Structure 1
Amino acid sequence: MSTKMIFSSLKKRSVLLFLTSLFILFNLLLNYYLPAEYALDLKFAYTVDQAYAALGSLSKPDREIYKVGLLALDFPYLVVYGLLATGILYFLWGNKKLVVIPLIIMFFDFVENILIINLINNFPSQKPLLAWVTSFCTTSKWIFVGLLFFLLIIGVSRMIRLSNKPFISFFK
């Protein structure tokens, strides 16, 4: 399958709507199974002490549920949002080079998940360097998510300004 075919498929309305539905479903499941107030991957940044305090606030069964949630939900979720972001960016900008942004987000999220699982597996033993690198990956992920949102907002604004058809007509 050529990259041109992949990009053409990803920018199709039906594919984008399907990925959006999966994106919403994964968000609902993640919110249900992962403790939002203690989830390290939802914070922008955290210190070593904050990381271990968050994990310490969870019971052992809750830490196991967090780990299973990362494995069963967050890993597939990063593929879904990566494809969705790629499709929307390509739809809005028509530029394959922008795909690097969702790929960077996916990379940092993937590494972050592996490191959080390691933190959980080693808990209550503390590994400060591991916690610091985990926080670095989390912060890096969120910085690139911010860049992605900026590009999406500019892309939608640009499309509305340059098009005779309103953006909302895409969903009809």
Structure 2
Amino acid sequence: MDKLRNYDISFSGLKTGKHQFKFEIDKTFFQLFDTEQEFTNPKIAVDVLLDKHTTFLEFEIETKGNIELVCDITNELFDYPFENHIKVLVKFGEEYDDSEEDVITIPANDHAFNASQLIYETVILSVPMKKVSPNISDEDLEILEKFSPKDIEEIEKEEEEHESDPRWEALKKLKDKN
């Protein structure tokens, strides 16, 4: 947890109004989290805008950079540029609570807010589910689609289109009569 303190944003001594914070994120940042996501060479700039009010805080977190991903088709590494932006309202209460989507409650006696989890989630949500290298041509994708497993609906439709055994047809007629 000590290494996550680098991402603490101390608001207690700040005047009401807007304040800017900047972070540079690399591989060591992601190693602080227990994740299956593997980033081999991330270069990410994070801009945090804190708008301090008397009774609450507004955070705007913008992440922009490149992540090196492994293509799901070719297994080659490629740079994936991304940009993401989130807004979060931080209010004060009895204890920490992040059960609401865009509102986080922190204890009233806290003097700093740790933005590491929000930065991490912003980056992770920018990574596509299907990672396809931009070096793959449309022709390669068509060939891959041609030989990929078909959907169940497509298989059933093809089976219906083929002529069925006349014995099965006779059984179907008997079944339909009942």
Please confirm whether the aligned pair reaches a TM-score higher than 0.5, indicating the same fold.
no
Which protein, 1 or 2, shows the higher relative CO under an 8 Å CA cutoff with sep ≥ 6?
A: 1
* Higher gyration radius (CA): 2
Structure with higher helix content:
1
Structure with higher strand content:
2
